[in-house]
Homo-oligomer: A and B are copies of this chain.
Amino acid sequence: MLSSDLVSGPTRAPTLADVATEAGVSLSTASHAFSGTKPVSAATRERVLAAAASLGWTGPNPLARNLRRGRSGVVGIAVGRLSTAFRDPAALAMLDAVSEVLDAAGLGLLLMPDDAEVGLPLDAVIYDICGRETWGAYADLVARDVPLVVVEGPAWPGTTFIDIDHRAGAAALGRHLHDLGHRRVATLTLEASHPQREREAGLREVFPEVEVIGACASDVAAAQETVGSWWDGGSSATAVVCQSDVQAAGVVVEARRRGLDVPGDLSVAGFDGVVLPWLDVELTTVVQPLADKGRATARAVLARIAGEDVEDVVLPVRLRTGGSTGPA
């Protein structure tokens, strides 16, 4: 009872309509047999499944389903250049959590290099700030009414925010150093951005006169270079506060290269609370709940897609003292 063309040419892939015909039921019944949206008698379902198998039908065409449903099942995540965005383990940890939640909800995660034209159907977009401030696609996405979730970002209208308490974390770190007797403190910053501004404000609650070494990406080599040329310029401090553990690691490496002992001659603090197995000192750092942040982000995405109202989230951080800071 196979369908006609055994001598077929470039066989068109079978559609649900073909399956329905083969099974001798209507298109809608065939659909229900698969989706389970409406009840179908066992016998009929059997027949439909058999027809599908015999025709080699591989399930509903996702393109058609998407159009019908008005959903693509894909969430975009805007990152800068991939290799720089994910070089920091903190970004990865968060991405991991996002992916896990989205995956469980049957959604895919699409990497959006920063300035990509978005000709793709996205159900929502996550914008993970990494020291960036502008976003080429923002206006376009707003115009298209795509739900937007911004992580650690500036206040853009129409977006949901997921953030951490940068200021409190930085302030706690400042107090820790102050308690240790440090007075000449310098800081290595990220590019101007919301998290950077908040953290600097927190640090200045304790050290109003903190010196800015310079700004660089969250990258070991970049941090080495930036702090290195600062030292080369004759500057110094008893403690350096960084904006990521990766930066801090760069400062530690560079300090040692120059014969400085950490924490004997120099205290170094980071931010994030990631694990850097290759660094033989445990960094004093502000631990942020990366997995929670990722999950909160993903949950916000799901809620926004579902059309629910979503409240912004600010997650707490905590200070973890390690061996990279000591008495001044």
Contact = CB atoms under 8 A, between A and B. Distances in A.
Interface of A: 13, 56, 58-59, 61-64, 66-67, 70, 72-74, 76, 81-83, 86-87, 89, 92-93, 95-96, 99-100, 103, 106, 108-113, 116-117, 119-121, 140, 143-145, 219-221, 224, 249-250, 253, 257, 275, 277-280
A213 to B, nearest CB: 18
A143 B96 contact: no
A56 to B, nearest CB: 7
Each complex incorporates copies of this chain amounting to 2
Most buried by B among A70, A95, A100, A277: A277
Given A72-B62, A74-B74, A111 B113 contact: no
B96 A103 contact: no
Contacts of A92: 82-83, 86-87
Contacts of A275: 221
A223 to B, nearest CB: 9
Contacts of A119: 59, 62, 73, 106
A95 B82 CA distance: 7
A63 to B, nearest CB: 5
A-B CB proximity, top 6 nearest: A221-B277, A62-B121, A83-B96, A83-B92, A63-B67, A67-B67
Contacts of A280: 253, 257
A125 B120 CA distance: 17
Nearest to A81: B96
A64 B224 CA distance: 50
Contacts of A140: 58
B120 A62 contact: yes
A106 B110 contact: no
Contacts of A110: 74, 108-111
A217 to B, nearest CB: 12
Contacts of A106: 117, 119
A275 B74 CA distance: 34
Contacts of A58: 140, 143-144
A168 to B, nearest CB: 27
Contact of A278 (B89, B111, B143, B249): B249
A187 to B, nearest CB: 21
